[in-house]
Amino acid sequence: MSFHASIITLYPDMFPGHLGASLAGRALERGDWSCDPVQLRDFATDKHSNVDDTPAGGGAGMVLRADVLGAAIDATSPPQDTRPRLLMSPRGKPLTQARVRQLADGPGAVIVCGRFEGVDQRVIDSRNLEEVSIGDYILSGGEPAALILLDAIIRLLPGVMGNAESGTHESFEDGLLEHPHFTRPAEVEGVAIPDVLRGGNHKAINAWRREQAERLTAERRPDLLRAKPLDK
Ligand code: SAH
């Protein structure tokens, strides 16, 4: 069975978005994954099709209603559906490559895209939504966050990336940022490719790459080194 994404959103036209092009787009055509946007507004019950209301306790903005969102989730994901239910949210656990891999190994995901100030807490609790953040900044809605999450998942699905090796040596896969890359021509604007990469000594090349990866990680993301001690 291929990876099946259902996305609950007020903007179904945003899907598959950029995932309709390039590698993900070809994989979508082949049926390696599928994308089923669900219009949240279709589950509104009043005559104005309201999906949101003012925050209890006062304050700015609007909140997505628990009854409307609950009905949309139940219709999209019946109790026997084993897919995880995710809510894109800046309050969520920051997304990691490890979580992306777990999701790619599973049957798919039901993804709720927030809007306005967010969603009524009662539906997060009752439908057991896992809040997922794509970083410490605020977007205007969950849709671009869902597209980013799906992009990261889809490239890991079997058969999607041409070269099966690509994907295991990337940044974060071994707790380090990736080493720098070079390609022909050998010299650009007076700058040569490092000698070691042209010598053909694979042991020396691997050692150089590892050293560069450790240096970049120490400089830019010391938190990664603390999270996962280096083996040697
Ligand atoms: N008031 C909220 C922000 C709402 S932004 C707060 O302060 O936490 C509106 C919607 O955009 C959110 O409900 C969420 O679905 C989405 N969103 C915004 N930033 C995001 C992020 N960093 N990661 C994932 N989703 C995000």
Q: How remote is the CA of residue 114 from the centroid of ligand 1, in Å?
A: 7
Both 142 and 186 in one domain: the answer is no
Note whether 145 and 173 are same-domain residues.
no
Ligand 1 atom 23, closest CA: 133
Listed range (4-18, 137-151, 164-178, 198-212) with the worst mean pLDDT? 164-178
Q: Is the pTM of this model over 0.85?
A: yes
pLDDT tens digit string along 103-120?
A: 999 999 999 999 999 999
Whether 159 is in a domain gets the answer no
Residue 155 CA to ligand 1 center (angstroms) comes to 24
Q: Which residue among 65, 69, 87, 89 is best mutated to probe the pocket of ligand 1, counting the most ligand atoms within 8 A of its Cβ? A: 89
Check whether residue 115 and residue 203 sit in a common domain: no
Q: How confident is the model at residue 170 (pLDDT cuts 50, 70, 90)?
A: confident
Domains in the chain: how many in total?
A: 2
Residue where a domain terminates, one of 125, 154, 183: 154
Provide the pLDDT for residue 228.
64
Distance CA 85, CA 49 (A): 24
Inter-residue contact 20 to 27 (CB < 8 Å): no
Q: Is residue 161 part of a domain?
A: no
- Would residue 93 count as lying in a domain? yes
Enter the DSSP assignment of 78.
Answer: -
Q: What is the C-alpha separation between 138 and 117, in angstroms, rounded?
A: 11
- Ligand 1 atom nearest the C-alpha of 132 is 24
**Amino acid (one-letter) located at 68:** V
Please check whether residues 178 and 124 belong to one and the same domain. no
Q: What is the average pLDDT across 163-173?
A: 72
* CB of 141 sitting under 6 A from ligand 1: yes
Looking at the structure, do residues 147 and 176 belong to the same domain, yes or no? no
pLDDT digits (tens, 9 = 90+) for 91-103: 999 999 999 999 9
pLDDT at 229 over 70: no
Query: Per-residue DSSP letters for 97-144?
Result: HHHHHHHHTSSEEEEEEPBTTEE-HHHHHHTTPEEEESSSS--SBHHH
Residues 124 and 209 in one domain: no
Q: Has residue 221 been placed in a domain?
A: yes
> Which residue, of 119, 154, 189, is where some domain finishes?
154
Range of the domain at 102: 3-154
43 in Cβ contact with 197 (< 8 Å)? no
Mean pLDDT on 160-180: 82
The answer to whether residue 160 sits within a structural domain is no
For position 87, which CATH number holds?
A: 3.40.1280.10
147 lines ligand 1 (CB under 6 A): no
Q: Does 139 map to a domain? A: yes
Please report the pLDDT score of residue 174 as a whole number. Answer: 87
Over residues 21-70, the pLDDT tens digits come to: 999 999 999 999 999 999 999 999 999 999 999 999 999 999 999 999 99
The last residue of a domain, from among 154, 183, 202? 154
* Residue 163 domain-assigned (yes or no): no
**Confidence bin at 168 (pLDDT 50/70/90):** low
Average pLDDT over residues 176-183: 97
Domain contains 198:
yes
CATH code of 205's domain: 1.10.1270.20
**Residue 198: strand, helix, or coil:** helix
Q: Is 134 in the pocket of ligand 1 (CB under 6 A)?
A: yes
Sequence letter at residue 197: L
